[in-house]
Each structure stands twice: as structure tokens, then as C-alpha cells.
Amino acid sequence: MAAACVGPAFLLGAVGLSGHTVILIAGGFVSGVCLEQFGIAWETSLQEHIPADKLARVYSYDALGSFVAIPIGQVAAGPLALLVGFRTALVICCAVIVVSTLGMLLSRSVRTLEHHPKALAPTDDDPVVAPAAA
């Protein structure tokens, strides 16, 4: 799952190293597939490993941590591109993504996270599937 976080590096690398349309399309496609794969695996992992009564809190912290970095990156990207050049800045960002993903994969608990599907059979207590009154 965490290995899919490397996906955006494909698009940044394609833009930074090549301007050919076919390469950009391929990089964008691989990036999109990786991001969607990670998104589905992340949501599934949270729902499987976090108790239901704490799930909303974990989602809130996840969103805060995810979105707080966006403006920091946007503010830093312009000056970095002016300092080292557009293509070099994209390659640096690509390298940061690859190194960050490899850093995550160094954690054994990240690499070995197991999938534990729960049998979610409906019960008579569930109001959606409660037997209709005869």
C-alpha cells in the first residue's frame, strides 16, 4: 500500500525530464493509478484497524496532517523553481517523494500491515435490514 505513494513522482519526473506528450500521459496515468490504489488501501486500512468509536477523530487528524502541508509546498515551490530552475525543481520534488516513500517502507509495521476483512453480516438489530412488520 505505502509503495503506491511513489506515484506522483512519475508525473513530476515526466514533466521535469521530458516534454513529450506520450511520456506525460504515461506518467500521469501511472501517477493516478498509484494515488487511487493508495487512497482505497488507506481508507480500508483505517476502517479495519481503528475502532469505530475513534474513527472520526483519526480521520480528522489525517485530514489536518494531509492538508496542512499543501500550502507549505505551494509557498516553497515558486522560490525553489526560481532558485534552481523549473525542471530541476521538479526533479528535486520527484526525489523527495521517492525518498519519503522509501523512508516509510523502512518501517516494518508499514511493510507488513495485514488485511483483516471483517464479516459484516446484517443483524436483526440493524434498522435497515430489520424484518418488516407483517
CB 67 within 8 A of CB 46: no
The pLDDT, as a whole number, for residue 130 is: 52
Does residue 132 carry a pLDDT above 60?
A: no
Domain total in the chain: 1
Say if 18 falls within a structural domain: yes
The pLDDT, as a whole number, for residue 95 is: 94
The pLDDT, as a whole number, for residue 69 is: 86
Say if 125 falls within a structural domain: no
The alpha carbon of residue 62 and the mean position of all alpha carbons in its chain are separated, in whole angstroms, by 11
CB 10 within 8 A of CB 84: no
pLDDT tens profile 31-78 = 999 999 999 989 988 988 888 899 999 999 999 988 998 899 889 999
Say if 134 falls within a structural domain: no
Say if 81 falls within a structural domain: yes
Question: Which residue range(s) make up the domain with 76?
Answer: 2-111
User: Which of 30, 38, 35, 29 has its CA nearest to residue 1?
Assistant: 38
User: Which of 47, 75, 76, 74 has its CA nearest to residue 62?
Assistant: 47
